Chains A and B, each alone.
Chain A
Amino acid sequence: MVLVGELSLWIALLMGVWAVTLSFAGGYLKREDLIVSGERGLYATTGFVVLASLGLWTALLTSDFSVRYVASFTSANLPIVYKFSAFWGGQAGSMLFWCLVLAGYAAAATFTNRSKNRALMPWVTGTNAAVLLFFVMATTIASNPFERLEWIPPDGRGLNPQLQNPAMAIHPPLLYLGYVATAIPFGFAIAALVTRRLDAEWLGAVRKWSIISWVFLTLGILLGMWWAYVELGWGGYWMWDPVENASLLPWLTGTAFLHSIMIQEKRGMLRKWNVILVVGTFLLSILGTFITRSGIIQSVHSFAQSNIGMWFAVFMVLMLAVTAWLVSIRLRDLEAKAELEAMISREAAFLYNNLVLVGIAFSVLWGTLFPILSEAVRGSKITVGESFFNAVNVPLGLLLLALTGIGPLIAWRRASVQNIQRQFAGPAFFGVVAAAVLWVLGARELYPLMAWGLGAFVAGTIIQEFYKGTLARMRMHGENIFTALVNLVTRNRRRYGGYIVHAGIVILFSAFAGMAFRQEYDVTLREGESFTTKDPFGKEWTFTSDGISQFKALNRDVVTVALMPVMEGKAFPVLTSEKRQHFDTRGNPTFQPSTEVGILQMQRQDVYLVLAGTIGDRAEIRINFNPLVVWVWHGGILMALGGLIVMWPQSERKRQGGYVTELAPQHAETAGV
């Protein structure tokens, strides 16, 4: 099967060349036979990439240590789920995984457009196949997962313990699904530029793919945060690590695009800007992989470093040059079809929203790359850490939060004073009262107070929209509150799905603000000794050590400490933290010891326990009180749920029905609704 996999990869390379050549030739010569042949070439490439992937999975699951990749990233005693996820645990495998996802997406995009967007499709298929060809080529030539060893070792090296976590089995694929989905809109953008069909046609095809990418990136980033929180043990979920930043960049520009696309759809404006955002999002996705794979910047993700960075650098420069050239020759076609009529309008609010999102993306990119720039200019290395990113991005984030409330409620074209008063008086009052109450309760830090005040304002705008819409349906259709609410969302998924995403943002920002009040304690305890302190809410906690224990598990030695937490007389379940030393089947240690943190999760805060190490019978531990952390996960899941609602297919009949019902209820019966 390994041989089949390797051969499949080479055949996929040849089929990719076929798909690119025939698709572009078919598009240029306007010959349907070539176009169809190019599409079939893409399907064939996809098939062979799937076969190659099955080959690698077979090698991993059967522990075929003659394959270097299998020997490097698995061991015979590795749990089967991690043998499966080792596919993307190393660089060569994750490159093949990227090929697999991209091939699947490209085939799906070609298949779903087999009877529409026909003028665009040869160029879309050609571009997608070209991107796929690059990845297949890089995988086959520079990073082949089927490379053999000259001798067969008795056991493999094992998977990095930090990757032996359920989140790590899911986080990279989700992130890749998000990254790779940006390639499809890129293909449509190139096709639209080449064919000069720059109206709404390509946007309609692109929107859904952009939301798919956005949802997967959101979930991937969220799971990455969760993994960092439970696995790395530093007590937080976001460190502004270069690879974390790399995943955030396409998310930010993708979010900007999902807002600006509305302006082009409604008003025919921002045509150049939307092309730039689509291309930029794709290139930032490639940059993310480049940063992860090249080792150009120091990162906790250094387990995936390799020599493939050069390939990505060349590819990025090439794509950038091609796109810049295409945009430059199509500038006239990209002129806006309408004018912006007033400064106080939804269009303007969305423009400022785009500015802030892209501004945050720039500052994150700048902070990530500044050490390289500084070294090049001054010759000395520097570190750009959390304090820099927080100083720059927190104010921008608060501005974005405010625009999250303002944008959706302000009128299109021109907002009147009455409109502003009607829409914003209630939410603004709600926000001010919330901030005042929190001030009285003792929250005196400026940024958290602003986050919660603005969060309350945005929450007010969302509640107001749902309230008005539900009430209108109850009045017009005699529906009960539940039915009215469900129908309100299902009849206009984009609008109300968007509000649900915004509700998730509010929860997320409020939870981020909670971390400003985190507390941490560095203590040493023997068995029976206690440590007493107060949490950020003023509650007294006592932690009593139950001692240190040692045991052997499937593929690791474990040292664990157990604490019994009691809050003002109320006992909680025993909290444990572990140090693990993994070993191979011969008992030899593999990798450095890893930490498993203990977390007592509550709605208001997490109690977070880290065993740093042991000295004799004493355990050196860190105890953190991390306020509102659970709301980060709630908010993130709500955002993804809102994204799913937005992208869920809605039949034209139902959309029409909902529209007619809202506009002319008296004619609903005759309209068959």
Chain B
Amino acid sequence: MLTRREWFVAAAGAGAVLTSRVLSGQGQPTFTPMDQSAYRPVLREPKPGAQPSMTPLERDQLERTLKCQCTCILDVYTCRTTDFTCSVSPAMHRDVMRLVEGGYTAQEIKDAFVATYGEVALTAPVKQGFNWAGYFAPAVVMTTGGIILTMMIKRWTARAAANAPAMAAGSASGAAVVPRIDASADEMARLEKALREEDFE
């Protein structure tokens, strides 16, 4: 458990990292055009006696896992079929076609693109090493949150039962709960009815 001082130190550290990242990103132009020089050839010799390794439909699916490098946020397939002004995605598409015809599997083609561009060539992080944190953190947080919340609810309900034994006993036996408020029988009947209505408010 962090002390308040430790918490503030940690927060300040995180702020400093973020700030340095922001500072390094200063001075950007007011409009970021597509970077048409981002293309790098991904070349491999065809395998001996190579046959196309996949159908055009499978190739399109593969291209959806490769990110166009022109600074748009689209995958190669979507970019090349959306915007003809981009010269990067058609060039990447040609490389994919060449590798498919050279007999390379989908994984081999992805590996070839990663070897040329780095992991940024993929639309999702490779499932290895630190990247697992990316995949698992939401699940871990949700599971932990769910467990903590369930434990808290159990603790609260136990405390409520301990604080109001008469009430708890009354509810368990189905007997009417004795109100500790100043209300007439008619008013209590109205209240009961209102509770039964289960007002959304």
Contacts and interface: CB of A to CB of B under 8 A. Distances in A.
A268 interface: no
Given A305-B29, A366-B134, A495-B200, A382 B125 contact: yes
Given A90-B30, A296-B25, A381-B119, A340 B153 contact: yes
B36 to A, nearest CB: 10
Contacts of B81: 520, 522, 610, 612, 620, 622
Interface size bracket, B side: 35 or more
Interface stretch (B42-50, B82-90, B94-102, B103-111): B82-90
B78 A234 contact: yes
A296 B198 contact: no
A239 B130 contact: no
Nearest to A375: B21
B60 to A, nearest CB: 7
Contacts of B134: 366-367, 370, 374, 384, 388
B74 A362 contact: no
Interface in B149-188: 149-150, 153-154, 156-157, 159-161, 163-164, 171
A392 interface: yes
Query: What's the dominant secondary structure at chain B's contact region?
Result: helix
Contact of A233 (B12, B82, B123): B82
Contacts of A298: 71, 73
B100 to A, nearest CB: 15
Interface string A325-358: 0001000000000011111001010011001101
Interface in A219-254: 232-235, 239, 241
A353 B107 CA distance: 40
A340 B156 contact: yes
Interface in A581-623: 591-593, 595, 610, 612-614, 620, 622
Interface string B59-71: 0100001010001
Contacts of B19: 310, 313-314, 317
B138 A363 contact: yes
A569 to B, nearest CB: 28
Contacts of A620: 81, 84
B3 to A, nearest CB: 11
A495 B194 CA distance: 14
Interface residues of A, number: 96
A613 B89 CA distance: 14
B40 interface: no
Contact of B22 (A90, A262, A299, A313): A313
A380 B131 CA distance: 11
A414 B125 contact: no
A437 to B, nearest CB: 30
A208 interface: no
A385 interface: yes
A396 interface: yes
Contacts of A378: 129-130
B119 A295 contact: no
15 contacts: A303-B31, A305-B28, A310-B26, A313-B18, A328-B4, A339-B160, A343-B150, A351-B149, A383-B122, A385-B67, A385-B73, A414-B171, A522-B60, A620-B84, A663-B193
Interface of B: 4, 7-8, 11-12, 15, 17-19, 21-23, 25-34, 60, 65, 67, 71-75, 78, 80-85, 118-120, 122-125, 129-131, 134-135, 137-139, 141-142, 145-146, 149-150, 153-154, 156-157, 159-161, 163-164, 171, 190, 193-195, 197-201
Interface of A: 72, 90-91, 160, 232-235, 239, 241, 262, 265-266, 294-296, 298-300, 302-303, 305-307, 309-310, 313-314, 317, 320-321, 324, 328, 339-343, 346, 348, 351-352, 355-356, 358-359, 362-363, 366-367, 370, 372, 374, 376-378, 380-388, 391-392, 396, 408-409, 411-412, 414, 492, 494-496, 498-499, 520, 522, 579, 591-593, 595, 610, 612-614, 620, 622, 659, 662-664
Minimum-distance CB pairs A-B, first 8? A613-B84, A495-B200, A339-B160, A363-B138, A385-B123, A340-B156, A302-B32, A317-B15
